[in-house]
Structure 1
Amino acid sequence: MTAFSRGAARAGRLVRDILLAAAAVGGAVCLVFALLAFTGGYSLMMFKTGSMSPTIPAGSVALVQRIPASEIAVGDVVTVDRAGTLPITHRVTSVGEGSDAAERVITMRGDANAVDDPMPYTLTEARIVRGSVPYLAPVIAQFGNPWVLGSLTLATAFLVGWAFWPRRPRTDEAVPPPPDPA
């Protein structure tokens, strides 16, 4: 084996190891998010508008957690489901008692808005924003594209096949010739 081919083999192993490590980290992140969703009521929310700018600009992704309305406080950023339309995420400006112990009536306002939302929201639960990452929504949205999903599937299959394909044993020494039968 020449020095060039040994170097190429080492480089190939390094690339393979880096790609496998990246895939393992990605898989671990997916498992953590699945566990959080299952056990803690967490989910991801993508922001299309800038009503919460500059705190949460358009194109951000937020980690939200479902909580009872009794835990909502003034200043929290919460997502409220609305019948017949998309949910809304704004900052809570007031919290009042509802018709029973579990219900709250809240008013909200987007950080970029000058006035509160036109109507108060009566609810028993909401999703509170635990954190956000700006400009990540377009990247995540691409994972819904069939071409992107297909390409990732093929790339993953290739990587797994490449990583576990049988290899010839490495020999660093010259193999002696077989004995002469004569």
Structure 2
Amino acid sequence: MTSTRNPETDNSDAGPAVRRPSVWSSIENLLLNVLAMLGIVCIAATIAAFALNISLIMFKTGSMSPTIPTGSLAVVKQIPASEIRVGDVTTVSRGEGQLPVTHRVVSVTPGAGDTYSIEMKGDANDSVDARPYEVTEVKKVLWHAPHLAYVVSTVSQPIYMAGITIAVSLLVVWSFWPRQQP
């Protein structure tokens, strides 16, 4: 006669059988935790960007080379003109229909009210920009990463955005898919 052992009713010293999670289950849990943390970081970064008035700009020319090469991505913060200092790398608007310019400040002169006149020069340029800029606020470069603008530009194309959207949608479906319980 063979006996079968019931872990819930057996009082032997062996104790109940403990089922270990499979390797796939452990990898699955790790992946979900990492993705959840990335989601939290993205949400925190978005909130911080709005709260601190921070945005991103891409360098399409080499006027700031070698300090900031073409294809760099920079984090900029909007500041009042009164906080501008000589040596700051800032972005200013040039008017309607023209792209903003990002160069190094070489002189700051107070104007009427909150307006300041600043002269700027690209690090790769031989002379200062043609005219001073009259500004009340500028975007100051806080940090930059070489070549990262190429990645952002590529990923921003519709075909890549569609692929990312489909991949994330499948990941969400997979993460909420019912699983068999042992």
TM-score range, shorter chain: 0.7 to 0.9
Residue 140 of structure 1 and its aligned partner are, at CA, apart by 1.0
Is 1:89 equivalent to 2:102 in the alignment? yes
Aligned-pair Cα RMSD in Å = 2.1
Tell me which of 145, 154, 163 is aligned to 2:175: 163
Is 1:108 equivalent to 2:103 in the alignment? no
Whether the 8 Å CA contact 1:16–1:159 is kept in 2: the answer is: no
CA distance in 2, matches of 1:28, 1:99: 45
Question: 2:50 is paired with a residue of what secondary structure?
Answer: helix
Residue 139 of structure 1 and its aligned partner are, at CA, apart by 1.0
Identity %: 47
Is 1:41 equivalent to 2:53 in the alignment? yes
TM-score (norm 2): 0.81
CA distance in 1, matches of 2:82, 2:73: 25
Tell me which of 34, 39, 62 is aligned to 1:27: 39
Question: 1:142 is paired with a residue of what secondary structure?
Answer: helix
Amino acid at match of 1:85: Q
CA distance in 2, matches of 1:21, 1:82: 46
Tell me which of 140, 144, 147 is aligned to 1:132: 144
CA distance in 2, matches of 1:29, 1:137: 20
Whether the 8 Å CA contact 1:103–1:124 is kept in 2: the answer is: yes
Aligned to 1:65: 77
Question: 1:30 is paired with a residue of what secondary structure?
Answer: helix
Where does structure 1 lack aligned partners over 5 or more consecutive residues?
1-8, 171-182
CA distance in 2, matches of 1:130, 1:32: 18
The farther-off stretch of 58-67 and 145-154 is 145-154
CA distance in 2, matches of 1:23, 1:61: 24
Residue 66 of structure 1 and its aligned partner are, at CA, apart by 0.5
Aligned to 2:88: 76
Q: Could you list the per-position Cα deviations for residues 86-120 of structure 1 after superposition, in whole angstroms to 9, with x for gaps in the alignment?
A: 000000000011122x1110100111111111111
Where does structure 2 lack aligned partners over 5 or more consecutive residues?
1-20
Question: 1:118 is paired with a residue of what secondary structure?
Answer: coil
Is 1:52 equivalent to 2:64 in the alignment? yes
CA distance in 1, matches of 2:24, 2:136: 56
Amino acid at match of 1:92: V
Residue 12 of structure 1 and its aligned partner are, at CA, apart by 3.3
CA distance in 2, matches of 1:127, 1:161: 40
Provide the aligned length of Structure 1 versus Structure 2.
Answer: 163
Is 1:120 equivalent to 2:132 in the alignment? yes
CA distance in 1, matches of 2:84, 2:176: 51
TM-score (norm 1): 0.81
Q: Could you list the per-position Cα deviations for residues 113-149 of structure 1 after superposition, in whole angstroms to 9, with x for gaps in the alignment?
A: 1111111111100000010111101111123222211
